[in-house]
Amino acid sequence: MTIDPTAFLADFASMSSIGATPRGGVDRQAATAADGRTRHWFRGLCEAHGFEVRCDAVGNQFALLELVPGAPYVAIGSHLDSQPLGGRFDGAYGVLAAAHAAAAVRDGLGEGEARFNLAVVNWFNEEGCRFKPSMMGSSVFTGKLDAEQALATADPAGVTVREALEAIDGLGDAEVDLAAYLEIHIEQGRSLEDAGATIGLVESTWGADKYEYTVHGEQSHTGATVIADRRDALFAAASMVVAAREVAERFTDDGGMVITSCGEFTVFPNSPVVVASRVDLLVDVRATDPERLAEADAELRRRIDEIGERAGVRIERGAEHHWGANEYDRAGMELARACADDLGLEHRVVRTLAGHDSTNLKDHVPTIMLFVPSAEGITHNELERTSDDDMLAGLRLLEVLAARVVRGEFVRG
């Protein structure tokens, strides 16, 4: 191992100071000033290590090391943007680990050993809290989302992605040809910690159906309008939250699990004495089994139709975002297992409940996804934590794995 653990931890502390929040987290939503400062800091770090840093047309940031002129790149990365009052590990650990691992691989390669070049990637807007959908940058890169559609997307204040990226000097014209992709991330769950394992070898994603809904009611007086005359958008939206939880409970048993959530409520006009005329909200349904997911999704839609009739409102389904419960490359997972065994790291096979940029990349190029533990499973929270020892163990594994992939042990050049 050629990585300096002290330097990595110092860099992680420095990065975590940008957009720091009072309880130890960060607030670096996509293309905000704090995100821009983090991207600038990251660029400086990579250029100091000899990378050429460029952005593409939707703000994905690539730090490039050319080892074999004309060859495609093995990319390693994650994301630097965060949720509001998010944790400092989610995404950012994977990007910094990628930079340190890639530099170490470059320094450790012998003459003529490399079959591929190396790229470290900071994918734009993975979190999807300021601009929807999540995983925006990797969706555009893999052809799942049109670039112009992404650039025209506006945040709640009306600022478009294009305008926000221009403000932080985040637009470019880079085009990078990938041969493979590696990502390391905190687990965002507690299965590794519960099992006493240091490394998660991710075998597949959960499937997910994500929807934007608008509930259209009619504004009226909360005191003067009797219940029978109300078309209360907030009542209908609250009923959707209850229905989603009940669907999750109904379709979860010993054979499998369904997870549902509702979030990002926007209530109009949001006055204490006015029955809501409109509510915007997000709904998502997740499961590992495609049939179970489809059945739960259909049942939730049926219940939402019933809610609309009962409340006398119109419920409109808007934009949708879907990904399947698909497997990661089996050969890549076995190579990662062999590397973990060589390093004496306890590991177990896991599935990812959350979406990651690798969710998109695995449908585009051979992809390997790794996890390190999250203390108590806490995530998207300022108290999110992964120990230094676990971060460094994941970094050691990423270096060894990336070196073998660059030498051609995963994909052929």
Q: Give the DSSP per-residue string, 284-302.
A: EEEESSHHHHHHHHHHHHH
Confidence band, pLDDT 50/70/90 cuts, at residue 353: confident
Tokens representing 164? 């926000």
Lowest mean pLDDT among 58-72, 77-91, 344-358: 344-358
Q: d(Cα 161, Cα 332) in Å, to the nearest integer? A: 34
Q: What percent of the chain has pLDDT over 90?
A: 93
pLDDT at site 92: 98
Write out pLDDT tens, residues 187-202. Answer: 999 999 999 999 999 9
If you average pLDDT over residues 387-402, what whole number do you get? Answer: 98
Q: How confident is the model at residue 1 (pLDDT cuts 50, 70, 90)?
A: low
Tokens 């940029």, located at residue: 357
State the chain's mean pLDDT as an integer. Answer: 96
Residue range 143-182, pLDDT digits in tens: 999 999 999 999 999 999 999 999 999 999 999 999 999 9
The candidate with the shortest Cα–Cα distance to 288, out of 244, 353, 350, is: 353
For the stretch 19-63, pLDDT in tens is 999 999 999 999 999 999 999 999 999 999 999 999 999 999 999
- Residue range 118-144: average pLDDT? 96
Beta bridge partners of 286: 208, 259
Q: How far apart are CA 339 and CA 201, in angstroms?
A: 11
CA distance 80 to 43: 12
**Angle CA(396)–CA(83)–CA(354) in degrees, nearest 5?**
60
Band of pLDDT at residue 259, cut at 50, 70 and 90:
very high
pLDDT for 212-248, tens place per residue? 999 999 999 999 999 999 999 999 999 999 999 999 9
| Distance in angstroms between the alpha carbons of the first and the last residue of the chain | 25
Residues 6+ apart with CB under 8 A from 197: 346, 347, 348, 373
Place of tokens 């939503």: 29
The overall longest dimension of the chain from CA atoms, in Å, is 82
Assigned CATH topology for domain 5-206+325-406? Aminopeptidase (3.40.630)
Selected from 1.10.760.10, 3.30.70.360, 3.40.50.2300, 3.10.20.30, the CATH number assigned to the domain covering 207-323 reads 3.30.70.360
Using CA atoms, how far apart are residues 284 and 273, in angstroms rounded to an integer? 30
CB 222 within 8 A of CB 273: yes
- Give the Cα separation of 383 and 379 in Å (integer): 8
Q: Dihedral through CA 13, CA 2, CA 361, CA 244, nearest 10?
A: -40
CA pair distance 94, 359, nearest whole angstrom: 15
Residue ranges, comma separated, of all CATH 3.30.70.360 domains in the chain are 207-323
State mean pLDDT over 382-407.
98
Q: Which strand (E) or helix (H) includes residue 108?
A: helix 92-108
- Per-residue pLDDT band for 136 (boundaries 50, 70, 90) equals very high
pLDDT digit string (tens) for 266-321? 999 999 999 999 999 999 999 989 999 999 999 999 999 999 999 999 999 998 98
